[in-house]
Structure 1
Amino acid sequence: MKRYLWGGLALLLILVLGAAGYSLYHHATPYQELVDHGPSPEARANPYLAAEMFLRERGLKVDHANSLEVLASLKPVGNSLLLLGERSNMSPRQVDQVLDWARAGGRLIFVAEALWDEDTEQSGDLLLDRVQIHQQLSEDQEPPVQQDADEAFPKLTKIYLEDEQAPAYVGFDTAFDLSDPDNLAQSWANSATATHMVQLDYGQGSVTVLTDADIWKTPSIGLYDNAWLLWYLNTDTAVTLLFNTDHPSLWQLLWRYFPQALVALALLIGLWLWQAGSRQGPLQAPAPKARRQLREHLRASADFLLRHGGQAPLLQALHLDIRRRARRRHPGFEQLPTEAQWEVLALLSRQPVSTVQQALQPLSGQRLSSADFSHQVAHLQTLRNAL
């Protein structure tokens, strides 16, 4: 009976599962869904990755560097160098290297990083100052005398080429303006309110100054004619991009990739220091409760001074103390002759003048015997205490 019951239950379960599968097969609708995981790690690390890929698709060789050391192996002729990153740590020697490279036939393109200061007559951007191009805020400049009322894109920069009827439009940041006070530029590109690109011949090469390079970052490179300008400025050259010179230190890399190992190492060092600092051997016996008397301390201090300083400093200290007390009790004491001082001290201390004279006799360079020194100190202390 049990066997038939289990068989019936198994058959019922198979029928239920079959019916559910049949229903899902006829009613379920398959579909596809795209999940956007955001930019790839390469794109996050390189904001100009799309620009590099675009140039490679146009047949140009593209490399990127992280320091100006690349100039040692980069031939000037047939190469373009794009300085698109922060350059505040650029030294005068590096500026000379870059400009010498351009003068020898290289094509240099860089972004102006600082504003011109009229008071100091410099901007702080060494490379920009050397090519004598100034950058200011557009709002600080005088507006154009006359603007085209039919201008369709006043915020875009127009680039005119020979044999082309319509200009190319580029989306530079209109907050900045370039000026060429010495008229060195051979060409430039303007929006309705400012100049955003200046080109000048430099020896056998050329220098191009831009107000910003965000037009070539993702996704701005896909707007307007931004990508075309990148190709146009680097036509027939091999391109080297230098945009990231801020390298993390070894400790930063270790903390980024191995934080657990660093924490474990710190704990091991802490345990080792704790173990090394633990007490070895028996406890030090506490100091005895008995202490020296004050008289013993004073005697020991006096013996120390006598051994290291001699008799003269001790006697001189007593002389000074006596004179200080006499000045307090008799104003003008220091202006009196020596004999008059002795008489004043004798009057104040109620001692004979001979005793005062003996106590205050001038110090000689000879060392006194122990008995004479003790008598001299006793006379001085008696005189001092009497004041």
Structure 2
Amino acid sequence: MADAVRSPAPSPLDPPSRTICLVCQKQFSQYTCPRCNSRYCSLQCYKSHSVRCTESFMRENVVQELHHVQSDDVTKRKMLDILKRLHSEEEEDSMDEDGGQISLDDLSTEEKKRFHRAVASGELSRMIDPWEPWWLNPSAGKIRLSQDGTQLVQPLARDEESGLSDADTGSSYLSDIPPGPDTPLLPLSKLSSTPPSPLLAVHLVDIVYSYCFTVRLYNGDWQTDVVGSSMVLLGVSSVLGQSGQPETMLEALSYCLEQTCSPAYRHVGGLKFGIALIDDVVSVLSLGTPALICLLSDLQRLVQAGERELKLEKPKRSRRTEVKNKLKLAERKVYFIMCWVHEQPKEAWTSLATIVAAEKKAALVHEDGKRVEKNGDKGVIRGKTLIEEVE
């Protein structure tokens, strides 16, 4: 049997697995395209072996890269939101540290113009809730102080047991009415070896008027500007600011009303506002000794706060030193007259309130006569004008 014809064995130089690159036809292929199974030898041949395959590959790479970019954008937006929240919290913290105060210099030119227009038109004042003076609160007549003039501790257990609220019991007034002195008031005999002046009642009216003016001007919150409120107090009061010694009620009220109608404070309300302040004085006097002591105690705290604030400021001009000296003297005067009020009989305040009310009525009569004279009525007898607004 003839031997079968055998094919020659493959040469090791030409193995069957070695295929020529289909692109360049020069090199053996080393790679296979995953899309069309074409054999190629290099990256250059892959890029040129099929436009369809290469474009599809590039498109997939771009889409995948875009997915990564979109994910990064989302992350960036989240990070920006976090940074914005942190920035807002830092601003709030800085506002809390600064007391939340913004000066006029922080506003732009247009914002300053709008601010001044709002002030001139009264729009700004309408945005502020009106303050109800504590001495007009019916509960102010229930103030009780100890025999030495200090604030009594109010029993709260009875109200809690009864289940009544502050509004039902009337105890909420404690948060509105200024507290009395923290320490017992000294007797006048320890403060001065001479008898007290009979003019202290007149001086008291000057001081009470000035206090009412100041707290009304600051809408009941003089703590927002202790230096400014102290300056206002010294400016309105002849006794505290000018070391004045008014001898009559007319003289004391005239000075206070002159300051109220001066250009510095005319915007507050002028003479009409001043007459209303006399009503405040009458109301406070009618409440009696406890209310007067609470008022003078709050006034003393105002003056002391102004002194402390001025001490913290760097000395800029001699006027600051003058103000500090006036405040020191004013503090002593307020304490002395508070001790004097503590020793007076309660009937004295009813009489003093009647005198002040009579002076207010006289002021209105003089003002009405002045208006009639300006209208040309010659039949009216000219009287003394109590106060005249400064133009």
Task: Give the TM-score of the pair, scaled to structure 2.
Answer: 0.18
Structure with higher RCO (Cα < 8 A, 6+ apart): 1
More helix by share: 2
Q: Which has the greater radius of gyration? A: 1
- Indicate the structure with greater strand content: 1
